[in-house]
Amino acid sequence: MKKCLTLVIVIVLGAVLSACNSTEGSADANTKELVLGATVPYSDMLEKGVKPFLEEKGYKVEIKEFNDYVQPNLSLSSGSLDANMFQHKVYMDAFAKAHNIELSDVITVPTAPIGIYSNKYTSLADIKDGSTVAIANDPTNLARGLTVLHDNGVITFSSDVDHLRATIEDISENPKNLQFKEMEAAQLPRSLESVDLAAVNGNFALSAGMDLTKALALDNLPENIQNRVVVNTKDLDKEFVKDIKEIIKSKDFKNVINEHFQGFIHPAWMKEQ
């Protein structure tokens, strides 16, 4: 009888342990792990506006922050990331072609604009003759900075110029005789200590503690240079991509943007909500 009782206990305990292991295995199987990459301030946007709501859907989410514009796409292509948020379509297409990889955009997101900032002037109308303007030395941001000045009547381009590729040589009228000083985009906030104005990228302005709403002027971002969520093309129809898109189009995401990302340019789809 004791032997029988011992055998029954062993069988029952074995069944219980087996059930526990089965349950744990099922939970592991249902865990959906994602690694999302971004540069500042989009890493913060993912942290506040996307990660919590993905976790509500059962995902385990890691946000990986980058400080350059090359590694996020290389990491995406290698499989280290599932999606990233830091780039516009013009950059994405050029990068994909140059590196022979297939990337696709999912949805545009609120984008930190380039702004004209000054510690000396409170409006563009106050600019004195011969003022110095610091501007990015990379082609895309150089063109965007010049375009802000053009759109606000400070300078004029030749009539046949593509504004996305404009250079200082394309300026046809410069009535204030502005002196342009090209430098690395990351150095532009600091340059305000020694120049009269600077065309500063939104991400670098925020990193330096600058207020986007204090800019003398902001650029009007066409859709193809608004930042977006990007994935490997082969993943475009996967569930996690659809879930990310659904979250970004939600009222919860919009509330996060309105609270924490003031001064960002909203994409057309968000303005229509």
199: phi then psi, degrees, rounded to nearest 5: -95, 100
Q: Indicate the residue among 184, 201, 220 that finishes a domain.
A: 220
Question: What token pair was written down for 260?
Answer: 């924490």
Is it the case that residue 222 has pLDDT exceeding 90? no
pLDDT digits (tens, 9 = 90+) for 132-187: 999 999 888 999 999 999 999 999 999 899 988 999 999 999 999 999 999 999 89
* Cα angle value 247/101/103 (rounded, 5°): 20
Q: Indicate the residue among 204, 220, 236 that finishes a domain.
A: 220
Q: Are 188 and 200 in contact (CB under 8 A)?
A: yes
**Domain span at 160:** 115-220
Is it the case that residue 20 has pLDDT exceeding 90? no
Q: Are residues 104 and 237 in the same domain?
A: yes
Q: Is residue 106 part of a domain?
A: yes
Please list the residues that pair with 115 across neighbouring strands. 200, 218
Q: Can you tell me the mean pLDDT for 99-112?
A: 97
Q: Are residues 97 and 45 in the same domain?
A: yes
Integer angstrom CA distances of residue 96 from 90, 92, 111, 113, 230: 10, 6, 21, 24, 11
Is it the case that residue 17 has pLDDT exceeding 80? no
Q: Are residues 103 and 228 in the same domain?
A: yes
pLDDT digits (tens, 9 = 90+) for 25-59: 333 445 699 999 999 999 999 999 999 999 999 99
Q: Can you tell me the mean pLDDT for 242-249?
A: 98
* Cα angle value 66/238/228 (rounded, 5°): 40
Number of separate domains in the chain:
2
Q: Are 226 and 112 in contact (CB under 8 A)?
A: no
Length of the chain: 273
Q: Are residues 132 and 83 in the same domain?
A: no
The whole-angstrom separation of Cα 251 and Cα 65 is 25
pLDDT digits (tens, 9 = 90+) for 122-141: 999 999 999 999 999 988 89
The CATH number of whichever domain residue 228 belongs to comes to 3.40.190.10
Q: Are 196 and 128 in contact (CB under 8 A)?
A: yes
- Residue 11's pLDDT is 45
The whole-angstrom separation of Cα 82 and Cα 37 is 8
- Residue 30's pLDDT is 58
Average of per-residue pLDDT values in the chain: 90
Q: Are residues 99 and 234 in the same domain?
A: yes
- Residue 5's pLDDT is 46
Share of the chain above pLDDT 70, in %: 89
- Residue 31's pLDDT is 63
Rg of the chain, C-alpha, whole Å = 25
The whole-angstrom separation of Cα 166 and Cα 118 is 22
Q: Is residue 50 part of a domain?
A: yes
Looking up tokens 């204090």, which residue turns up? 214
